[in-house]
């Protein structure tokens, strides 16, 4: 799909069909994440792809608030995204290189996540990034170590809705040219 079309047609999807997603598609979405740039090519993003019905139901019921549970009611896959702390933004002696510290890990993960949701769209799949989730419940269920920061949960599946695009701020409101 042409890049401009891909960008403009991607939407946050809040209604899914029950149809299963092929594991190969999930793998190519994770592979797309790996194409993103990262701090010193440190590639600190980590992914937990939840696909079995029991585990998907558990994540939905125990790790998401009511509204995100409802909006992803029939999504067949959740991808929990995390990153290894203390690497991106840090030097070899484990000192933060500047004031942002581990925020660089979150920055890198965001770049990777954008690749993922665009790749999903190219494959005909919908996604919803969810920042409102229960980090402790996710950590416990998926055995996510303390060395990693848990960030977004991304729902994945075939869309059951064609949402219109939410308005964007105008360019003049977000940029200053010098
Ligand atoms: C970091 C982040 C966290 C988000 N968290 C949620 C969420 O918890 N629940 C939800 O319904 N949407 C969530 N969204 C989706 C945004 O609301 C959505 O991207 C925005 O309204 C623009 O719509 P669009 O994605 O269709 O362009 C999140 C998006 C981002 C990038």
Q: Is the CB of residue 11 below 6 angstroms from any atom belonging to ligand 1?
A: yes
Given phi > 0 = left and psi -120 to 50 = alpha, else beta, which region is 18? Answer: alpha
Does the residue 166 lie in any domain? no
Q: How far is the CA of 11 from the centre of ligand 1 (A)?
A: 9
Indicate yes or no: pTM above 0.75.
Answer: yes
Question: Has residue 174 been placed in a domain?
Answer: no
Cα 14 to ligand 1 centre (Å): 10
In a domain, 62, yes or no: yes
Closest residue CA from atom 25 of ligand 1: 12
In tens, the pLDDT along 100-131 reads 999 999 999 999 999 999 999 999 999 999 99
Closest CA to 107 of 48, 38, 155, 7: 38
Gyration radius of the chain's alpha carbons: 17
Indicate which residue's Cα is closest to atom 1 of ligand 1.
Answer: 131
Tokens of 124: 């005909």
Q: What is the largest CA-CA distance in the chain?
A: 55
Is position 137 within any domain? yes
Task: Give CA–CA dist 132/135, Å, rounded.
Answer: 9
Q: Whose CA is closest to atom 10 on ligand 1? A: 130
Cα–Cα distance, 36 to 129 (Å, whole number) = 17
Number of compact structural domains in the chain? 1
- CATH number, position 67: 3.40.109.10
Residue 173 in any domain: the answer is no
Ligand 1 pocket, residue 160 CB under 6 Å = no
Q: What is the pLDDT of residues 62-72, one digit of tens each?
A: 999 999 999 99
Domain hosting residue 111, numbered range: 3-160
Residues 6+ apart with CB under 8 A from 14: 71, 72, 128, 161, 163
What three-state secondary structure class fits 174? Answer: helix
Is pLDDT at 1 greater than 90 in this prediction? no
pLDDT in tens, 72-101: 999 999 999 999 999 999 999 999 999 999
121 lines ligand 1 (CB under 6 A): no
């Amino acid at each position: 799909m042409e890049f401009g079309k891909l960008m403009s047609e991607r939407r946050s999807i809040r209604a899914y069909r029950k149809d299963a997603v092929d594991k190969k598609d999930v793998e190519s979405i994770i592979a797309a994440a790996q194409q993103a740039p990262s701090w010193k090519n440190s590639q600190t993003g980590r992914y937990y792809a939840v696909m079995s019905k029991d585990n998907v139901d558990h994540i939905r019921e125990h790790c998401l608030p009511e509204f995100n549970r409802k909006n992803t009611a029939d999504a067949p896959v959740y991808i929990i995204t995390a990153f290894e702390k203390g690497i991106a933004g840090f030097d070899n002696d484990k000192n933060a290189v500047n004031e942002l510290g581990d925020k660089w890990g979150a920055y890198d993960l965001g770049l990777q996540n954008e690749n993922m949701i665009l790749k999903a769209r190219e494959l005909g799949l919908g996604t919803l990034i969810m920042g409102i989730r229960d980090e402790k419940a996710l950590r416990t269920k998926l055995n996510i170590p303390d060395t990693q920061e848990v960030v977004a949960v991304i729902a994945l599946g075939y869309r059951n809705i064609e949402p219109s695009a939410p308005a964007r701020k105008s360019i003049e409101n977000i940029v200053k040219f010098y």
